Amino acid sequence: MPRARILFFVKPPRPGAVKTRLARVLGAAAAAEAYSAFAGDVLDTLKALEVPLTVCFSPEADREEIAAWLGPDCDCRPQAGADLGGRMAEALAWALAAGAGRAVLVGSDLPDLPAARVESALSALRDHDAVLLPAGDGGYGLVGFRCEGFRAGAFAGIDWSTPRVMAQSLAAMERLGLGCAVLEPWPDVDEVEDLAALAARLRAAPEAAPRTRAWLARQGFLA
Q: pLDDT (tens digit, 9 = 90+) per residue, 88-118?
A: 999 999 999 999 999 999 999 999 999 999 9
Whether 63 is covered by a domain: the verdict is: yes
The radius of gyration computed from the CA coordinates of the chain, to the nearest angstrom, equals: 17
Domain holding 58: CATH number? 3.90.550.10
Residue 172 pLDDT exceeds 60: yes
Whether 201 is covered by a domain: the verdict is: no
Whether 202 is covered by a domain: the verdict is: no
pLDDT tens across 120-141, in order?
999 999 999 999 999 988 999 9
Residue 5 pLDDT exceeds 80: yes
Q: What percent of the chain has pLDDT over 70?
A: 99
> Rounded to the nearest 5°, which phi and psi values hold at 103?
-145, 135
Full domain range(s) for residue 110: 4-189
Quote the number of domains for the chain: 1
Whether 150 is covered by a domain: the verdict is: yes
Whether 180 is covered by a domain: the verdict is: yes
Whether 215 is covered by a domain: the verdict is: no
The pLDDT value recorded for residue 28 is: 98
- Region 132-157: mean pLDDT is 96
Whether 194 is covered by a domain: the verdict is: no
- Region 65-85: mean pLDDT is 92
pLDDT tens across 210-221, in order?
999 999 999 999
The pLDDT value recorded for residue 2 is: 58
The per-residue DSSP string of 98-122 comes to: TT-SEEEEE-SS-TT--HHHHHHHH
Residue 155 near residue 85 (C-beta atoms within 8 A): yes
DSSP state of 7: E
Whether 212 is covered by a domain: the verdict is: no
**pTM reported for the whole predicted model:** 0.96
